[in-house]
């Protein structure tokens, strides 16, 4: 399934359990190894996508005992009725044991499992996410090699408001997605930063995730069933 959606960074204090999350992976005959959030994210802030990407990078690192034998990956779940994102962690073969601690189990809803995959379906894990197709336009990334692409107007990574042409982000979606966006902005940490999936469009041929600083968000009624969602992108 083609990726889509938005994933805000969420500071993991309060009701969000990532800060204490750990999961031990056992791939026979190798000993168990443990992924720990606090060892991977020093500021206790991450999006669901950040966590999934980091877990896969950790699990596929050459220092893992199963390196060269098993490959791990993840997939986003686009089937939730509340139009938020969930994630499924997976391996290319059955894992002897996925053993989460209490914090990770709270997110996944699974105490332990022996299978090829582990789903994290809870609303807590989905905090700060929206499952809809956003259009990101005018995302001009600075190219230090080309003087043309590097001209005024290009986005400078990490420099808020440094470009004269800001990206525009919008979507046409359902009432559920509009509600999910309202929840996501309340759950997001400050300053608000998010990953948004860019689909190919005229003048923007490359697809992929874009990391942006988010200002105001808007939801407007389009007709009896559709809403227009908008995000102010600062950098």
More confident residue, 37 or 45: 37
* pLDDT at residue 152, rounded to an integer: 47
* pLDDT at residue 163, rounded to an integer: 52
- How far apart CA 65 and CA 34 sit, in angstroms, is 12
- How far apart CA 136 and CA 169 sit, in angstroms, is 5
As a whole number, mean pLDDT of residues 50-64 equals 93
As a whole number, mean pLDDT of residues 25-36 equals 90
Distances (CA, A) of 23 to 4, 19, 100, 121: 26, 12, 4, 16
Distances (CA, A) of 89 to 40, 49, 192: 17, 11, 26
Domain ranges of the chain: 17-120, 129-233
* pLDDT at residue 149, rounded to an integer: 46
As a whole number, mean pLDDT of residues 21-31 equals 89
- How far apart CA 73 and CA 43 sit, in angstroms, is 24
Average model confidence (pLDDT) across the chain: 79
* pLDDT at residue 200, rounded to an integer: 61
* pLDDT at residue 202, rounded to an integer: 54
As a whole number, mean pLDDT of residues 28-49 equals 86
CA 102, 108, 109, 110 torsion: positive or negative?
A: negative
* pLDDT at residue 222, rounded to an integer: 80
Among the listed ranges 57-61, 84-88, 94-98, 196-200, which one has the minimum average pLDDT value? 196-200
Model confidence at 151, pLDDT cuts 50, 70, 90, reads: very low
Distance in Å from the first CA to the final CA of the chain? 29
Distances (CA, A) of 160 to 25, 35, 100, 156: 40, 33, 38, 8
Which residues, at least 6 apart from 63, have a Cβ–Cβ distance to it below 8 Å?
A: none
Cβ proximity of 3 and 76 under 8 Å:
yes
**The pLDDT of residue 224 is above 60:** yes
Q: What is the pLDDT of residues 113-140, one digit of tens each?
A: 888 888 888 777 788 888 888 776 655 5
* pLDDT at residue 93, rounded to an integer: 81
The number of C-alpha atoms within 13 Å of 102 and in the hemisphere containing its C-beta is 0
């Amino acid at each position: 399934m083609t990726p889509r959606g938005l994933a805000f960074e969420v500071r993991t204090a309060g009701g969000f359990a990532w800060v204490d999350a750990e999961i031990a992976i056992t791939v026979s005959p190798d000993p168990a190894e443990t992924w720990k959030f606090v060892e991977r994210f020093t500021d206790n802030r991450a999006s669901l996508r950040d966590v999934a990407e980091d877990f896969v990078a950790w699990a596929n690192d050459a220092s893992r005992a199963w390196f060269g034998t098993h490959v791990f990956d993840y997939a986003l779940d686009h089937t939730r009725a509340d139009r938020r994102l969930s994630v499924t962690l997976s391996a290319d073969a059955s894992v002897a044991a996925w053993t989460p601690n209490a914090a990770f189990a709270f997110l996944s809803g699974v105490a332990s499992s022996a299978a090829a995959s582990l789903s994290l379906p809870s609303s807590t894990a989905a905090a700060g996410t929206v499952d809809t197709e956003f259009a990101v336009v005018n995302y001009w990334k600075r190219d230090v090699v080309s003087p043309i692409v590097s001209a005024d107007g290009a986005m400078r990574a990490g420099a808020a408001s440094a470009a004269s042409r800001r990206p525009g982000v919008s979507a046409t979606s359902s009432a559920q997605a509009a509600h999910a966006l309202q929840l996501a902005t309340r759950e997001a940490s400050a300053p608000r930063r998010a990953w948004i999936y860019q689909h190919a469009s005229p003048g923007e041929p490359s697809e992929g995730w874009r990391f942006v600083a988010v200002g105001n968000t808007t939801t407007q009624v389009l007709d009896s069933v559709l809403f227009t969602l908008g995000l102010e992108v600062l950098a």
